Amino acid sequence: MVAPNWIGDALMAQPLLMRLLDRKPGARIDLLAPPRVAAVLRRMPEVSKVIEADLRHGELQLGDRWRLGRMLRGREYTEAYVLPNTMKSALAPSLARIPLRVGYLGESRVGLLNRIHRTAQPREPMSLHYARLAEEPGTEPAMPLPAPCIRTGLTDVVARFGITGPYLVLCPGAEYGPAKRWPYFRELASRLRMQIVLLGAAGDPEDYREIPGLNLIGKTSLDDAIDLIAKSAAVVSNDSGLMHVAAAAGRPVVALFGSSSPEHTGPQTPGAKVFWLQLECSPCYKPECPLGHFRCMRELAVEPVLQAVHAALGTAP
């Protein structure tokens, strides 16, 4: 299987893996994936092996893909599921001559894939979008879909970072762009009477250093971040990969949506509290507000989020 390029998408694809194993118990599922999502894929019990391929975004790299296809041919796979919609992502399975190659119509993929699905509804739930690939084209998967679930506790990360006692995780970043980033994490943290741990990527904005708490943004591996989230009391996050990690780790999640839609990429856990103002201009799915006012996040006040955090923690305001 060719895995998605983003952590959140990879987790929303897990119900597809579960359905494939329901159909063929004992089957081996190997995933071809970029290094940045490999850690979360290795924690899925359905995955036998993760094959890392550091292929650069926007580049054809035909020679690298030909060598990758030749390597895959030697493994004698019988089925390939190509989850990204690009032509490049379908090249290696085609070059590997895998007999059944499944995916959505996407970008110039006729001939590269031989069982082609067409998107049923634009911006439908991503988990459903992926799960359809386990069925014949035009057939709906049985509902409800299973929720993502990953293994945790693989690292002794809490002791390593000197954390003692209960703590709340805040994830103020979103790699996609500023239109997904709620601007009030600093105020929220200042009003909480609990130990706070901040998680995110090295490229997150510099001003996140001003948020009160143990700032581990850019200082952890993805494996560390997963286990820190898994041992937390609750998680507050924008629509990001770490939000989906928290849901798959079974933690209470307070999720903040702006330019994207929880109907499309919402946390796959029944206990999540989702905030989304549903303005007339939202969702626009743009990395930056195209209208310049950023109302979808700016008008999401601290008070209701604070109340949701207390409800998740079972504490009094």
Q: What is the pTM of this model?
A: 0.95
- What pLDDT is stored for residue 121 in this prediction? 80
pLDDT tens column, 221-242: 999 999 999 999 999 999 999 9
Residue 185, pLDDT > 70, answer yes
pLDDT tens column, 9-35: 999 999 999 999 999 999 999 999 999
Query: Percentage of residues in the chain with pLDDT exceeding 90?
Result: 89
Given a contact cutoff of 8 angstroms between Cβ atoms, the answer to whether 107 and 85 are in contact is yes
pLDDT tens column, 130-173: 999 999 999 999 999 999 999 999 889 999 999 999 999 999 99
- What pLDDT is stored for residue 269 in this prediction? 87
DSSP of 41-104, one letter per residue?
Answer: HHT-TT-SEEEE--PPTT---HHHHHHHHHHHHTTT-SEEEE-S-SHHHHHHHHHTT-SEEEEE
Q: Residue 36 corresponds to which tokens in the numbers above?
A: 């940045």
- What pLDDT is stored for residue 197 in this prediction? 98
- What pLDDT is stored for residue 253 in this prediction? 98
Within a 10 A sphere around the Cβ of 17, how many other Cβ atoms? 25
Residue 259, pLDDT > 90, answer yes
The CATH class, in words, for 159-313 is: alpha beta
Phi, psi of 181 (to 5 degrees): -105, 115
pLDDT, averaged across the chain? 94
Residue 60, pLDDT > 80, answer no
CB burial readout 153-183, b (16+ within 10 A) else e: eebebbeeeebeeebbbbbbbbbbebbbbbe
Q: Where are the domains of the chain?
A: 7-134, 159-313
Q: Residue 47 corresponds to which tokens in the numbers above?
A: 């995955």
Given a contact cutoff of 8 angstroms between Cβ atoms, the answer to whether 172 and 202 are in contact is no
How confident is residue 252, by pLDDT bands cut at 50, 70 and 90? Answer: very high
Given a contact cutoff of 8 angstroms between Cβ atoms, the answer to whether 15 and 127 are in contact is yes
Same topology for domains 7-134 and 159-313, yes or no?
A: yes
The CATH architecture assigned to 7-134 reads 3-Layer(aba) Sandwich (3.40)
- What pLDDT is stored for residue 58 in this prediction? 60
User: 183 preceded by cis ω (within 30°)?
Assistant: no
Residue 210, pLDDT > 80, answer yes
Dihedral in degrees, nearest 10, Cα atoms 107, 110, 115, 117: 40
pLDDT tens column, 266-315: 998 888 999 999 999 999 999 999 999 999 999 999 999 999 999 999 99
- What pLDDT is stored for residue 270 in this prediction? 84
- CA distance linking residue 115 with residue 105, whole number of Å: 9
- What pLDDT is stored for residue 317 in this prediction? 83
Strand order in the sheet with 100-104: 79-82, 100-104, 115-117
